[in-house]
Amino acid sequence: MQVDVLVVPDCPNGPVVIERLAQALGGRTDVQVATRVIDTIEQADHWGMHGSPTVLIDGRDPFAAPGTTASLSCRLYQDEGGRAQGAPSLARLRQALKR
């Protein structure tokens, strides 16, 4: 499995999602994780970035709504209680990684 974390430069939620991913993966050795800094809308479109941070699992964004366009903006995710966060919750990451 390949997991790519796409962030804009100096994204404050990049480290948060990377920490949560490490917890969700729990030391699995069959997963490669890469962080990619995205500077242009062309790069965002190429990679399928829907705001920063974006998590791609095998090239797919499991958190994006259908029809979401490429974006360099900050991204919000809803946790299990419906509250907005700057990164997917640990529980949502675990769910996405199981699929």
pTM (two decimals): 0.92
Write down the domain spans for the chain: 2-98
Domain 2-98: CATH architecture, name and number where available: 3-Layer(aba) Sandwich (3.40)
The string of pLDDT tens digits covering residues 1-12 is 999 999 999 999
The string of pLDDT tens digits covering residues 21-63 is 999 999 888 999 999 999 999 999 999 999 999 999 999 999 9
7: β partners: 37
Predicted pLDDT of residue 28 = 86
75-80 contacts at long range (C-beta below 8 A, 24 or more positions apart): 75/13, 75/50, 75/51, 76/51
Distances, alpha carbon 56 to alpha carbons 1, 46, 49, 81, 99, in Å: 10, 13, 9, 23, 13
Question: 13: pLDDT confidence band, cut at 50, 70 and 90?
Answer: very high
